[in-house]
Chains A and B, each alone.
Chain A
């Protein structure tokens, strides 16, 4: 019977024979390790390319046209300088979109509508000069996204004089929040701005940190997207010649693609994919949806790490604004009492107190605009998002506090005057048609 011992002996004999064969075989030049040579060449090629950067890439090119891409695309196409900027999550986006759609009485494509026309006009009624409000708010925007978004704006476009940041408890304690580095905003905007100063806080897992390090250290990995895009453009041009798209009466659209391959670029936004239209009170009331279950999940397990990280980024935002001489105004967004009751007992009070202390520490203006007596259920789409009517109330309130606060009034007035002068010098008409 064959035993394992005999098998072992057989294998050892084979091993010895192969070694003998190597010794008696013809002598020829042999590298100690082809892999190590290949690795050394790869490392040298990366070092050379990182040092000389021979290929100029367009940092604004991106394969994923998410909210941030559209915002910065609009910002780049913007011919006017904006002196006031809005930041915030969907609570701000919803208020703005609804309010402006009703104010302008037309449908707004949110990939292209990035101004707060109502608030601009409301402020202009009380403050002389030019006020141009650009909204950098984006659904799901956390303080970490807000920080990098503003930083990217300053780096790539213009420095605003005033930033109004609308926050809600969800932005800090949502248990479904991803790590800062996982968001659409971070993935796109890290192409535009350097985040080395906050890198330690951006990535939560050690492997995300390692990934970030590799992106910085390995040229081919760091510029993988650019190289891929160049390759795809080249392939596309070749295919257009070799296999041109045949004519059909019903061409394949972005909407068809969404239905056919929903997993491909799932959060990509297309023009006219997210619209806000004028709405009357009756329809607004009918459209109210109860999202309590969703928020029960979001508030279920508040993650202390997320809270700490997002508070850190809020503080970074304040420091960045201070350094850039930007007036930062923090606003507590209106949400329903029903939604607040879903928070852990004392959670909302703690959150408000934290914001107040934060504002005092950083010498910022803070306004709590969540007035339960003023905002009613019919001012909301759901338990947290204001509709057109609630949005209008909110921007009225916001304009009032800015106008009434002496310090802010002076800052906004100076900025408006400065912008008006700037536009006069630039020879552009300050009145815009919408």
Chain B
């Protein structure tokens, strides 16, 4: 069931009404049933998978808490984490692994025909497996167990965040379930506002940019360097608006029931460096990677080389988490390398003694934001390209842009030639507007009129969004990009 589908338009209000009509003690079971209906509407059999993992974790994690000795605790933690990762590995990485083995054997002249396992990647598996691991590690670290199975099952399957996060923390989520909240109109207002904004991000921006991105990344040879820069920018905004839109809808849907789930984005394209970018982009994943991968690996406690190694491993595995394909790994490696380079650059500036001065300079800040955006965009090429060869072909062309800019004429822009669909030439106008919109939102973010606008503005905005969504919702909208992860 997609958030931008008629099914959800029926499903959400039904669950919402039932939730506030039934007594408090029935709300968790109701949401649990609704969440399983939501999940099983796609492929009923996979309801068993999420249930099995939930039950397994619920039964195994208390063994970590009960173990008296640290060694025993570690063993049980290892068992739980391994069980979760093996499940993820089978469903998500089996084909990739076999492909790698096959390529390896080919190098030695062995022609191995890998078996076809008929595995279909269960939606959201990467997200709920990470939530289970987080639970196990936190219990290992001394945090309390979840007492009720229903609460734990809902934590893993809560339908607004089930398919593409945000990755929740049980210490934030579970206590909310027991509070006998009373219905408040604010839940509807704020929840629906978030849902409408999220749908607009997805339907009006991301889905329209998808066409240009698809054309550019599947046929880079048809476009010049400047076109490809525009297409890369377009993808940067497509993936941001797609995922941020999904997160807004998820947060809005949760808020309708009075529950809060964490934010995932904080104007990431205004980040002044790549480390800052990861504090603003997919926050629930980056903090998960920090807490459950980077820190257990040793974090930044072991000196420069170990810190860099840990960063590299964390980002490479983070890349692979996005998908079982080498271009995702390449993207993760790229992120790891640029993070290491950034650390070295900061060290260098500090050694030279100009760091404080530069950071305080507004001009340098603007320059840093522009540079970071472009570094991130180059990374997106690895992420979106179908193969590394294609990514390298695009990046080679992107590097030719300065030369092409020297003798720029509009005839260099192939996207200006394409008038149907009209989104192609429009990208030249849309991309700057989207960039400026980030700056404007940042400027407005601490203004009273933005944080608490007058009701007339709120109503006007909601009516406008409803009209735009009913007019511009396409007959067939592509799935959310992060569904595949």
Kindly state whether residue B445 has any CB partner on chain A within 8 Å. no
Residues of B within 8 A of A224 (CB): 470-473
Residues of B within 8 A of A8 (CB): 175, 178-179
Kindly state whether residue B376 has any CB partner on chain A within 8 Å. no
Instruction: Check if B459 sits within 8 Å of A37, measured CB to CB.
Output: yes
Instruction: Check if B175 sits within 8 Å of A4, measured CB to CB.
Output: yes
Instruction: Check if A239 sits within 8 Å of B425, measured CB to CB.
Output: yes
Kindly state whether residue A7 has any CB partner on chain B within 8 Å. yes
In the complex, what residue of chain A is closest to B216 when comparing beta carbons?
A260
Cα separation A322 to B467 with both chains bound (whole Å) = 43
Kindly state whether residue B103 has any CB partner on chain A within 8 Å. no
Chain B interfacial positions (CB closer than 8 Å to A): 5-7, 10, 142-144, 146-147, 171, 174-176, 178-179, 181, 185, 188-189, 192-193, 211, 214-215, 219, 222, 409-411, 413-414, 416-422, 425-426, 428-429, 455, 458-459, 462-463, 466-467, 470-473
Instruction: Check if A245 sits within 8 Å of B472, measured CB to CB.
Output: no
Residues of B within 8 A of A257 (CB): 418, 420
In the complex, what residue of chain A is closest to B478 when comparing beta carbons?
A263
Complex interface residues of chain A between 34 and 79 (CB less than 8 A to chain B): 34-39, 41-42, 45
Instruction: Check if A1 sits within 8 Å of B144, measured CB to CB.
Output: yes
Residues of A within 8 A of B471 (CB): 220-221, 224, 227-228, 231
Instruction: Check if A264 sits within 8 Å of B421, measured CB to CB.
Output: yes
Instruction: Check if B142 sits within 8 Å of A1, measured CB to CB.
Output: yes
Cα separation A7 to B143 with both chains bound (whole Å) = 11
In the complex, what residue of chain B is closest to A250 when comparing beta carbons?
B417
Cα separation A130 to B455 with both chains bound (whole Å) = 70
In the complex, what residue of chain B is closest to A64 when comparing beta carbons?
B475
Interface centre among A35, A37, A214, A236 (most CB of B within 10 A): A35
Interface centre among B6, B419, B428, B459 (most CB of A within 10 A): B459
Kindly state whether residue A432 has any CB partner on chain B within 8 Å. no
The distance from the CB of A263 to the nearest CB of chain B, in whole angstroms, is: 7
The distance from the CB of A33 to the nearest CB of chain B, in whole angstroms, is: 4
The distance from the CB of A245 to the nearest CB of chain B, in whole angstroms, is: 6
In the complex, what residue of chain B is closest to A41 when comparing beta carbons?
B463
The distance from the CB of B5 to the nearest CB of chain A, in whole angstroms, is: 8
Contact of B144 among A2, A37, A220 (CB under 8 A): A2
Instruction: Check if A11 sits within 8 Å of B463, measured CB to CB.
Output: no
Residues of A within 8 A of B421 (CB): 261, 264
Instruction: Check if A252 sits within 8 Å of B418, measured CB to CB.
Output: yes
In the complex, what residue of chain A is closest to B412 when comparing beta carbons?
A246
Interface centre among A29, A34, A228, A251 (most CB of B within 10 A): A34
Q: A1-B144, A36-B188 given as contacts; is B426 within 8 A of A41 (CB)?
A: no
Residues of B within 8 A of A11 (CB): 175-176, 179
Cα separation A41 to B429 with both chains bound (whole Å) = 32
Q: A38-B466, A220-B470, A248-B411 given as contacts; is B179 within 8 A of A232 (CB)?
A: no
In the complex, what residue of chain A is closest to B188 when comparing beta carbons?
A35
In the complex, what residue of chain B is closest to A220 when comparing beta carbons?
B470
The distance from the CB of B80 to the nearest CB of chain A, in whole angstroms, is: 19
Residues of B within 8 A of A292 (CB): none
Residues of A within 8 A of B142 (CB): 1
Instruction: Check if B420 sits within 8 Å of A246, measured CB to CB.
Output: no
Contact of B185 among A29, A33, A227, A235 (CB under 8 A): A33
Size of interface on A: residues with Cβ below 8 Å to B: 54
Kindly state whether residue A255 has any CB partner on chain B within 8 Å. no
Instruction: Check if A263 sits within 8 Å of B462, measured CB to CB.
Output: no
Instruction: Check if B422 sits within 8 Å of A228, measured CB to CB.
Output: no
In the complex, what residue of chain A is closest to B476 when comparing beta carbons?
A263
Cα separation A10 to B175 with both chains bound (whole Å) = 10
In the complex, what residue of chain B is closest to A222 when comparing beta carbons?
B470
Q: A45-B463, A228-B471, A243-B429 given as contacts; is B174 within 8 A of A4 (CB)?
A: yes
The distance from the CB of A206 to the nearest CB of chain B, in whole angstroms, is: 9
Residues of B within 8 A of A231 (CB): 471
Nearest 6 interchain pairs by C-beta: A38-B462, A252-B417, A246-B411, A220-B470, A33-B185, A246-B410
Complex interface residues of chain A between 256 and 279 (CB less than 8 A to chain B): 257, 259-261, 263-264
Cα separation A248 to B411 with both chains bound (whole Å) = 7
Instruction: Check if B189 sits within 8 Å of A246, measured CB to CB.
Output: no
Residues of B within 8 A of A207 (CB): 5-7, 10
Kindly state whether residue A31 has any CB partner on chain B within 8 Å. yes
Kindly state whether residue A32 has any CB partner on chain B within 8 Å. yes
What string of 1s and 0s marks CB contacts (under 8 Å) between A144-172 and chain B? 00000000000000000000000000000
Instruction: Check if A4 sits within 8 Å of B147, measured CB to CB.
Output: yes
Residues of A within 8 A of B7 (CB): 207
Kindly state whether residue A3 has any CB partner on chain B within 8 Å. yes
Instruction: Check if A34 sits within 8 Å of B189, measured CB to CB.
Output: yes
Cα separation A242 to B192 with both chains bound (whole Å) = 37
Q: List 24 A-B contacts (CB under 8 A).
A: A3-B144, A4-B144, A10-B175, A33-B188, A34-B193, A35-B188, A35-B462, A36-B185, A38-B462, A41-B463, A207-B7, A218-B470, A224-B470, A224-B473, A232-B422, A235-B426, A236-B419, A236-B422, A239-B426, A243-B425, A244-B410, A246-B410, A257-B418, A264-B211
Instruction: Check if A239 sits within 8 Å of B422, measured CB to CB.
Output: yes
Residues of A within 8 A of B6 (CB): 207, 210-211, 214
Residues of B within 8 A of A12 (CB): 179
In the complex, what residue of chain B is closest to A29 when comparing beta carbons?
B455
Cα separation A339 to B466 with both chains bound (whole Å) = 52
The distance from the CB of B417 to the nearest CB of chain A, in whole angstroms, is: 4
